[in-house]
Every structure is written in C-alpha cells, then in structure tokens.
Amino acid sequence: MFIIAGLGNPGTKYHGSRHNIGFYVIDILAQAHGIKVNKIKHKALIGEGTIAGQRVVLAKPQTYMNNSGESLLALKQWYKLEDSNIILVYDDIDLDSGVLRIRPSGSAGSHRGMQSVVYLLNSDAFPRVRIGVSKPPEGWDLADYVLSRFTDDEIEPVKEACERARLAIECIISTGIEQAMSRYNG
C-alpha cells in the first residue's frame, strides 16, 4: 500500500497557484485511475483505489502548506505505513519550470510544507517528486510568487511535467524508485 500526497493549500483562492502543483498531480492520478478524492479524513481530502496493482490513498492535505506534516502524520499512523511507502509531490523553486526531480529521501530544503512533514514524521526517508516552478523574478516576495498563477508561457511545460510526475509515481509503485529516477529525472 502507498500514500501519495500532493502538497498545496485548500480552497479556491489558491487554485491555479504554483504552490498547488502537488494537488494537480493528485487530480491527474485520480482521473487516470478512476479514484474519487472526495472524503475528508486525517486532515486531508482523500480517495482510495488501486494503481499498478497496489492499494493507494491519494491525499491532498487540508492543513495549509506550512502544516502539511499534521495530515501526513495522521495518515501514516492510521495506515501504519513505512516512510518508503509515502510518496510526496510538491513544487520546487530551485528547479526551472517544468523540470521533474525524483529522490528516495533528502532534506526539506527551504520548502515549508516539507519542513513540516520532515519534522512531524521525524524522518526524511520518503520518496519525493518535485516539480520545478522556478525562482521568483527580481523584486518578488517568495510567498507572493509561490501563491501566484503560472504565466501563459509556463502553462504547457508545467502540464507536461505534471503528466511526467503521474508516470513517475506509477513507476515508483510498479517497479521502484530507482527505475523512476532513471526514466523521469531531468
């Protein structure tokens, strides 16, 4: 069994923002596998189903980004999963827009949502799929930037990255993280 959590902020105010790219990937996975993500449990909007023959929980934490760990801790404790079976998907300003980076573990870096998850799970040993949203332009406040919408020029590369993220997550589930990194990083 796997928990696949896309990090983001709840509510229509944040729909379409860079910080909600994890939610988009969950939506794409849900649509591709006929999973309804419509139940509120463990401080998340969740849906249960099957991907690549494995039982999965798709989750969109509803705690706001900076408290994502609260939901992930509740999910981990309820489903009693190892960290390696929790896959996180989120935005990364240190990667150019549309670049995908998959890692089996690692630090949270400057991402506040990941800092919350690492702190509350007391571990950084879970797979993560990071999608580049680029650094803010000169003079932009970081919070304003990640809560802003994508430009017209960015939309297509970001959509393609989200689709590759879906394929990478399916690969992690079916053949493992090493194979996913080999096929989809870059």
Task: Write out the catalytic residue numbers.
Answer: 19
Q: What share of the chain is helix, strand, coil (3-state, %, to 5)?
A: 45, 25, 30
The rounded distance, in Å, linking the Cα atoms of 70 and 55 is 22
Give the burial class of 169: count Cβ atoms within 10 A of its Cβ; 0-12 exposed, 13-18 middle, 19 or more buried: buried
The neighbouring-strand residues paired with 101 are 130
The rounded distance, in Å, linking the Cα atoms of 155 and 123 is 33
128-132 and 44-51 beta bridge pairing = unpaired
